[in-house]
Structure 1
Amino acid sequence: MVMNEQLNEEKVFKDPVHRYIHVRDQLIWELIGTKEFQRLRRIRQLGTTYLTFHGAEHSRFSHSLGVYEIVRRIIDIFQDRPAWNNKDRLLSLCAALLHDVGHGPFSHSFEKVFHLDHEDFTRGIILGDTEINLILRKMGNDFPKKVADVIAKTSDNKLVVSLISSQIDADRMDYLLRDAYFTGVSYGQFDIERILRVMRPREDQVVIKQSGMHAVEDYIMSRYQMYWQIYFHPVTRSAEVILTKILHRAKHLKESGYQFKLQPVHFYSLFAGNVTLTDYLKLDEAVVLYYFQIWQEEEDAILQDLCRRFMNRNLFKYVEFNPNLQMNEWRELYETFKEAGIDPDYYLVVDSSSDLPYDFYRPGEEGERLPIHLLKPSGELRELSRESEVVEAISGKKRTDHKLYYPKDLINDLTKNRDAKEKIKQILND
């Protein structure tokens, strides 16, 4: 094993959120320079959100650096505290830096279509035949697995895991501040300086001094607002719906023997369900958008139309939809779309979003979440919602929103089928 070396001179990245990102370790500097990490420059942090908030062009590269910087600052605060072992410093920094390295183009939309999990690819990149793995092994052959286990939340080192993945972790703190900055909204703002100052290490997780409770309340409410005002914005979801349908259509055409003008060679293994790590790493948003640009001229009318909509931001309209009460209406719409010659499998889409802003500990439940604990002056730990009326009011309450998306322009163009046009508009109250 080679011990980590310090750089002769500290490197800094100018950052609009944290002002500066400081790199002092040779290992971290080398990881940033790998082709797998540099690929994150070509993947947006917020997927299709740039079609709603034009400033949201920031990348997973900048977010990953931001998470690293927050963890670096937390560790500086934890120095010399009894529960913190400084031997975990580099493990924490590497996990923070690499936590998102497995994300693909348009991240979650892409994963849903091809039944992928970016966490599997993160683990594959860290443990596989990659530049990242080669550099991590400078700290020992078992070091890559230690980093991967922290990111996967399977590590025995629960304190380090909580820095990267908990209900108040460096990942969430950076993306809230960064996404708020680049979308130009104020919802995601909270006092990160205060939160970092009141964080304390315990054996199995980070806790918060009771005096910092109100700063944490503000953070949780900021997260709540960001999800409903930004992440689940209906226009962004419309773009995601079209993106998803483009990929579904291309996959269907390939399986049907359709001859593309430009063969989608980058998608072959995805369509076949046997994508390799090498194939996956060749994909970024520049590649995907290149195909979408070319497919605007395809012979297939549906693929052509969907790509033109996405590239030119001619998105679907939407109405509120209650699946418990309106399924009969949806079925009637589905049949009427078919009669009118509009394929409902691509042009009539119900999209649902849900979020749980904060939850207390529910042992044994799927996806159980460790709660945020407050450290009282007596040394006693108290779960946050037991002390905060604000947090108690939203604890364990999952909010779900459903929208029905459709192409209003195609409906308006149904001049030869006025009966279908009027029926659709009547059902949609449009």
Structure 2
Amino acid sequence: MAYATQKLAEEKVFKDPVHRYIHVQDQVIWDLIATKEFQRLRRIRQLGTTYLVFHGAEHSRFSHSLGVYEIVRRMVDDVFANRPEWNKRERLVALCAGLLHDLGHGPFSHAFEHVFDLDHEYFTRAIILGNTEVNEVLRRVSKDFPKKVSEVIEKTYHNKQVVSLISSQIDADRMDYLQRDAYFTGVSYGHFDMERILRVMRPQPDQIVIKSTGMHAIEDYIMSRYQMYWQVYFHPVSRSAEVILRKTLERAKELYHAGYTFKHDIAHFHSFFENDVQLDAYIAMDESIILAYFQFWMSEEDAILSDLSQRFLNRKLFKFVEVDPSKDWEKLIRLEKLFDQAGIDPNYYLVMDSSSDLPYDFYRPGEEGERLPIYLQMPNKELSELSRSSDIVDAISGKRRTDHKLYYPKDLLHEEHPLHEQIIEIMHA
């Protein structure tokens, strides 16, 4: 029997709080899960610093990746199985892409990427195509199979229908993380009727569309996404922790280039500080490594590195005020000068952070970040862009919400500080 079609002697199942069970029948999938690169995802939290706000948010990229795989499996094995518009030969590449789509995420994901100018999608492809256990498993299917899986994740695969299962405005990735993140944070915003959405999905050439009778389930999904972004993903306290994480890593990098002698060897960070990150070093980096170094750095002689490290580990976070960069730029300049006078480095202790989200956007050719719309299949089989039929979606289409906050250490600006009143007055003006 060819490896691509080889089934396990007995189906394996993972107990899962979101999908109840995750079913594995294919030898390829079972072997991929066992690779060291996939097991590494157990040591990468799905929500980065959010566990410092929602204490239950300790779930990993590993569990999310299994969840995405399971939703794709249900799509291709149950929903699309007998539909002529779905090519059954694409089944395995869709399953593998769903399972491996987050393989390249680094520790604390986006904050880590920001400091070291990295791209997790690049490393996902590098792991799939490089000298790795994952690549070795995929090559057992065929020599070009790793390239196919990589192309699905890169969104360049010739069959856009397969790509849309993993990456679109309504895909397996979003459907899992909204429900999973809602479950582990304990909020109610991220819940929607996935069973209904799966039932009304219809494969079409180059895309997946939604039967018009399922429009209200899609509305609920989009509003759930909107609420999760502003109530969980962009939570201001979580962003404070992310700011401190970023600044801690930036301080360590600055000290390294200044020739500072660290008390503990920083072997894991050498290639990151030198902007020459090799695949082996990237795979070896996870959140347990970051947290261990933060423990070491708490005892460093550099006051800023020591302070920022203990703030993150002990949750002594920055406070924040709302700002409008277009109007408050003079205020920001004055605050920077006052922080300097107060002996508080504004590069590390006065930080602007912005968040922005577009809950639903229809296709606008040539625009940055353009997205394919969600189409409804009407009773006459014609397709209608979602916002044309839904007043709810139309009301939020193309409307980007942006939020700016200025983070600072209120505890350092105690009332006895000679510049306290002046700084606080400007801060809240």
Structure 2 SS opposite 1:371: coil
Cα distance, 1:347 vs structure 2: 0.1
Report the residue type matching 1:38 in the other structure: Q
2:267 corresponds to which residue?
Answer: 265
Pairwise CA distance, 1:324: 0.8
Q: Does 1:23 align with 2:24?
A: yes
Alignment partner, residue 379 of structure 1: 381
Q: For 2:370 and 2:351, how far apart are their aligned partners in 1?
A: 31
| Cα distance in 1, alignment partners of residues 89 and 367 from structure 2 | 33
**What CA deviation, in whole Å up to 9, does each residue of 1:65-116 have, x standing for no partner?**
0000000011121011011010000000000000000000000000011000
Query: What is the aligned partner in structure 1 of residue 396 from structure 2?
Result: 394
Which residue pairs with 2:59 in the alignment? 58
Contact 2:46 2:64 in 1 (8 A): yes
Q: Does 1:117 align with 2:119?
A: yes
2:248 — aligned with what?
246
1:412 partner SS: coil
Conservation of the 8 A alpha-carbon contact between 2:3 and 2:28: no
1:364-411 C-alpha deviation (Å, 9 max, x unpaired): 222221100000111100000000000000001111000000000001
| Residue type of the alignment partner of 2:423 | I
For residues 429 and 326 of structure 1, what CA distance do their matches in structure 2 show? 11
Distance 1:4 1:102 in 2: 27
Alignment partners' CA distance in 2, 1:385 and 1:291: 49
Partner of 1:220: 222
Deviates more, 1:332-341 or 1:357-366: 357-366
Separation in 1, partners of 2:51, 2:160: 36
Q: Which residue of structure 1 aligns with residue 75 of structure 2?
A: 74
1:118-158 superposed Cα distances (whole Å, 9 cap, x missing partner) = 00000000000000000001111000000000001011110
- Where does residue 422 of structure 2 map in the other structure? 423
Letter of the structure 2 residue corresponding to residue 151 of structure 1: I
1:155 maps to 2:154? no
Q: Distance in 1 between matches of 2:182 and 2:3?
A: 40
Alignment of 1:339-350 (within 5 A): 339-350=341-352
Structure 2: which 5+ runs fail to align?
none
Determine the C-alpha separation between the residues in 2 that align with 1:2 and 1:411. Answer: 64
CA distance in 2, matches of 1:396, 1:67: 27
Q: Which amino acid aligns with 2:185?
A: T
* Cα distance in 1 between the residues matched to 2:44 and 2:17: 18
Instruction: Tell me which residue corresponds to 2:323.
Output: 321
Counterparts of 1:193 and 1:62, CA distance in 2: 20
- Residue 83 of structure 1 corresponds to which residue in structure 2? 85
Give the direction of change, closer, same or farther, for the CA distance of 1:349–1:3 in structure 2 (3 Å limit).
Answer: closer
Counterpart position of 2:33: 32
> Alpha-carbon deviations, 1:312-334, whole Å to 9, x = none?
00000000011011110110000
Which amino acid letter does the alignment assign opposite residue 310 of structure 2?
R
Cα gap change, 1:6 to 1:251, in 2 (>3 Å)? same
The structural deviation recorded for 1:198 is: 0.4
1:199 aligns with 2:198: no
Whole-Å separation in 1 of the counterparts to 2:3 and 2:228: 43
Q: Which blocks of at least 5 consecutive residues in structure 1 are unaligned? A: none
Give the CA deviation at 1:428.
Answer: 1.5
Shift of 1:2: 4.0
Runs of 4+ in 1 over 3 A off after TM superposition: none
Aligned counterparts of 1:122 and 1:157: Cα–Cα separation in 2: 20
Give 1:7 deviation, angstroms.
0.5
Structure 1 CA distance, aligned partners of 2:137 and 2:53?
39
- Higher mean C-alpha displacement, 70-79 vs 309-318: 70-79
Equivalent position amino acid for 1:364 in 2: G
Whichever residue aligns with residue 424 of structure 2, its letter is K
SS in 2 for 1:291: helix
Q: 1:67 to 1:3 in 2, by over 3 A?
A: closer
2:281 is the counterpart of 1:279: yes
User: Aligned partners of 1:395, 1:82: CA distance in 2, in Å?
Assistant: 33
SS across alignment from 2:413:
helix
CA deviation map 1:293-319 (0-9, x unaligned): 111100000000000100000000000
Superposition pairs of residues 180-195 of structure 1, within 5 angstroms: 180-195=182-197
Structure-1 separation of matches of 2:33 and 2:178? 22
Question: Which AA in structure 1 matches 2:27?
Answer: Q
Give the aligned partner of residue 8 of structure 1: 9
1:48 paired residue number = 49
Quick one: which amino acid aligns to residue 132 of structure 2?
T
Which residue number in structure 2 is paired with residue 237 of structure 1? 239
Distance 1:412 1:54 in 2: 29
Q: Compute the displacement of 1:355 (Å).
A: 0.3
Instruction: Tell me, yes or no, if the aligned pair for 2:3 and 2:27 is still in contact at 8 Å.
Output: no
RMSD: 0.9
Structure 2 residue aligned with 1:173? 175
Distance 2:332 2:158 in 1: 49
Are positions 1:330 and 2:332 aligned together?
yes
Once the two structures are superposed, residues 21-58 of structure 1 have per-residue CA deviations (whole angstroms, 9 ceiling, x without a partner) of 00000000000000000000000000000000000000
Say which SS state the counterpart of residue 401 (structure 1) adopts. Answer: strand
Amino acid in structure 1 at the alignment position of 2:260: Y
Shift of 1:263: 2.0
2:358 is aligned with what amino acid?
L
Residue of structure 1 equivalent to 2:368: 366
Q: CA deviation at 1:425?
A: 1.1
Aligned length: 427
